[in-house]
Amino acid sequence: MTEHIKLFTPGPGDVDDRVLEALSLPVMRHYGPDWLPVHEEMDALLHKLFQTKNDMYVVPGPASAVLDMAIGSVVEPGKKIIIGTNGYFGTRLIDMAKAHNLQIVLMEAAWGKPLEPDALSALIKENPDAVAFAMVHHETSTTVLNPLKELMAVAHNAGLVTIVDTVSSLGGVDIPVDDWHIDLCICGANKCIEAVPGVAFISVSPHAWQVIDSHPGPGSWYLDLKLWRHYLQEWGSWHPSPVTLPTNVILAAREGIRVILDRGLKEHVARYTRASKAMRAGMESLGFEMLVPETYASPIATAVKARPEFTLDELVKWLMDTHRIAVGGGLGELTGKVIRVGHLGKAAEREYMMDFLFTLEEFLRLKNIPVQSGKWVAGLFVE
């Protein structure tokens, strides 16, 4: 068996043993009387996790596919969409909108800085014909957490359909979908839900359905929300999805959400906050500088700047080769300038964090960089 790699990446992470056990259950059909109770429980769990009464769908594939589905289903080709971008994954939303032949209005902020509600207000006034506003909540490439509540208030008051990538934030921070007027909210199973890759989830509001029903559709069969609604409405008592589902992956995701709700959603979110503060404090005590100030830093992953004494490639390779520890590298314009340390799953546990920080101290000593032994331990007791 391959030696286990400890995952400190921004996703996926090392998951609870209950999730792995669910993944190894016998294969089930994705339809029929055995599957329907699973489908119904999953639907109920997702409604609790998303804090919504909106329609919920479980779609096989990466979350990027479901973001593509949302943008294509809501905005008719030729219509205008405002897209907030301040990192790599905001740029991906732009690429999706281009693929659907949409008119794009850019709302840009510098990488490492948050999107500004006032900037959105100004763009809406300049573009009264815009149909939708799309954005990334946790821009994983920089670890900035954008001010979602405030941005949603601006977009909702203007009547725009809101499309939000909460792929790497939902479950890690509090996101009350209905209270914040998020029309289409997309999340993946392998981030803060702490399950495995293979499925993504989307909630769809009545407002979104009104816009979706006002035009023919995205010119896609699989990535058309109308198709998924049709199967749920017409075939829901037997075969509630239009395609074969990865049933074991869904069973694992179900168990991941059960773990969260057994712990309590509030406590699950607090766990991420504690882990982030501890890791930031520990790395700062070792002389590392954070990319993003704590005022708008994500609790889900932390971006750490390069140092002059060594290259980040050297550090990343040493962590993997010597200790089987994986971290995330920089993306786009931050390639080679930061590493990204995730706090997902077991990486939020004290034992994992102690191992990681002790290993960093070891690396610094090998580079003849003076460090105060064990100073990083204090960070693990930050509340």
Amino acid at 28: M
Tens digits of residue pLDDT in 190-212: 999 999 999 999 999 999 999 99
| Predicted local distance difference test score (pLDDT) of residue 2 | 67
| Predicted local distance difference test score (pLDDT) of residue 218 | 87
d(CA 275, CA 260): 16
Average pLDDT value for residue range 227-231 = 96
d(CA 255, CA 249): 10
CA angle 341, 343, 344 (to 5 degrees): 120
6-8: strand order across its sheet:
6-8, 325-329, 338-342, 301-305
The answer to whether 224 and 217 are in contact (CB under 8 A) is yes
Q: 157 falls in which pLDDT band (50, 70, 90)?
A: very high
The answer to whether 275 and 348 are in contact (CB under 8 A) is yes
Q: The CATH number of 17-261 is which of 1.10.3720.10, 3.40.640.10, 3.40.30.10, 3.50.50.60?
A: 3.40.640.10
| Predicted local distance difference test score (pLDDT) of residue 236 | 87
Q: 382 falls in which pLDDT band (50, 70, 90)?
A: low
| Predicted local distance difference test score (pLDDT) of residue 381 | 61
Which of 12-16, 81-85, 105-109, 264-268 is predicted least confidently? Answer: 12-16
DSSP result, 142-158:
TTEE--HHHHHHHHHHT
Tens digits of residue pLDDT in 334-373: 999 999 999 999 999 999 999 999 999 999 999 999 988 7
Average pLDDT value for residue range 17-23 = 94
| Predicted local distance difference test score (pLDDT) of residue 379 | 64
d(CA 185, CA 165): 6
Q: At residue 220, does pLDDT exceed 80?
A: yes
Q: At residue 140, does pLDDT exceed 70?
A: yes
Q: 109 falls in which pLDDT band (50, 70, 90)?
A: very high
Average pLDDT value for residue range 183-196 = 96
Query: 264-381 in CATH: which number?
Result: 3.90.1150.10
Which phi and psi angles does 166 have, rounded to 5°?
Answer: -105, 30
Average pLDDT value for residue range 155-159 = 98
- The alpha-helical segments, DSSP class H, found in 61-147 are 63-74, 88-99, 117-126
Amino acid at 116: E
DSSP result, 106-123:
EEE--TTS---HHHHHHH
Instruction: Give the Cβ contact number of residue 126 at 10 Å.
Output: 10
d(CA 310, CA 319): 13
Secondary structure class of 217 (helix, strand, coil):
coil
| Predicted local distance difference test score (pLDDT) of residue 372 | 80
DSSP result, 1-54:
-PPPPEEESSSS----HHHHHHHTSPP--SSSTTTHHHHHHHHHHHHHHHT--S
DSSP result, 182-195:
-SEEEEETTSTT--
Q: At residue 278, does pLDDT exceed 70?
A: yes
Task: Output the pTM of the full model.
Answer: 0.95
Boundaries of every domain in the chain: 17-261, 264-381
Q: How many angstroms from the chain centroid is the CA of residue 331? A: 16
Half-sphere exposure of 171 (CA within 13 A, CB side): 28
| Predicted local distance difference test score (pLDDT) of residue 203 | 98
